Structure 1
């Protein structure tokens, strides 16, 4: 079995449970802004529509078709207007409030802390490589007590590239002093994490907790973080 020394983790949807944390944040906003007063949609509909809009915008962001500023400005306007709210009635600070509240949430995927402790104790050097915004990623790590596990946090804003661009990964290797052959990328996104790492010559672990069917070739595939202990 191949020997690895450097393990690169994605953060959102891999360790930090974005969907759970976003759901809690949206529930708070729905109450704080009394969105029910419009009488147009339930919280479930608000949450579902936001998820659809946000995922679509993130795909555009990762393709360099919108900026971070545009993503943040547009997501709630688009969500609420598509639910029937007049654009003039969309709270002007709702996106900023979301950005303030969300990273303070602490939900992580099952086994996150125990597996990271195990890997650290085994002598692996742990790093993060994320397309998430620089100004919130470190807050997320602190809120979920993940900071101390990682030596380096490599963000797209700092590197100048977005996963799956192989230059994001080569930047990460250079910054950590790692080689591709001794490195392993663990993430939930087949394009950004798996294909991006593959194109940079790095082995990959596809984290697939919902066991979605796919036809991609991956070095490893897991549905639980606990499975990392089976080969690391």
Structure 2
């Protein structure tokens, strides 16, 4: 075990784009839409539509009502059969959680780490949608607690959501580490609560912010160097 990390009692994780690959899930949802509402679409058009769909989703990231994402696609690329406006959110809420999958390697790493410290998820988002993702990927079996912003009334980077996790786990800020992909919400947020933040940066994006993470990791395998 690395000597500088002996004594840590909790490892906290972000959900979307950290434990789960949200970008891949957005692609899967797009192809569900394509299959149900479009016919005879050539490859170049599919590629353009997917790019646009991802752009619409990015603009609405963190917004509970995803109706605008699908409506924007329908407006720019009119389908033969259009999903009625009042069913769009229901379509998203039902299908999107099923588009997520978990890397079994990540599960093994979490379970190994769990032998040494408490583990938790802290995620922004709607309770219904985030719980469905967690249940469908069986992540609920791996973690001691799961905290969802809508359920508790405040969200990252608000320090209170991190402090709530510490209280529930019965650990002090100096005894915890947080792993997340968003520099402002995850790393800046946990630092507001005096928790060391580990920036999960698999695409090796340049840090152009003033936020300085405690550590940067590019894969979950790296976490194993922190534990036996």
TM-score normalised according to structure 2 size: 0.86
For 1:77-121, what per-residue CA distance to the aligned partner results, in whole angstroms no more than 9, with x for missing partners? 23332x2539x9564224422321121234235731121121012
Q: 1:144 to 1:84 in 2, by over 3 A?
A: closer
**Distance in 2 between residues matched to 1:36 and 1:131, nearest whole Å:** 38
2:175 counterpart of 1:182:
yes
Find the partner of 1:224 among 213, 219, 225.
219
Any runs of at least 4 consecutive aligned residues in structure 1 with deviations exceeding 6 A, and if so which?
A: none
Q: 1:46 to 1:94 in 2, by over 3 A?
A: farther
**Distance in 1 between residues matched to 2:159 and 2:56, nearest whole Å:** 27
2:196 counterpart of 1:199:
no
Could you tell me which residue of structure 2 aligns to residue 127 of structure 1? 120
For 1:182-222, what per-residue CA distance to the aligned partner results, in whole angstroms no more than 9, with x for missing partners? 11111111111001011111001100000111144110110
Could you tell me which residue of structure 1 aligns to residue 108 of structure 2? 114
What is the number of residues matched between the two proteins?
A: 218
Could you tell me which residue of structure 1 aligns to residue 156 of structure 2? 163
Q: Which runs of 5+ in 2 are unaligned?
A: none
For 1:116-172, what per-residue CA distance to the aligned partner results, in whole angstroms no more than 9, with x for missing partners? 121012x21111000022112222222222221111110101121111111221222
Q: Which runs of 5+ in 1 are unaligned?
A: 62-67
Could you tell me which residue of structure 2 aligns to residue 138 of structure 1? 131
2:203 counterpart of 1:210:
yes
**Distance in 2 between residues matched to 1:80 and 1:34, nearest whole Å:** 10
1:177 positional shift: 2.1
Alpha carbons 1:132, 1:156 under 8 Å: kept = yes
TM-score normalised according to structure 1 size: 0.84
Alpha carbons 1:131, 1:155 under 8 Å: kept = yes
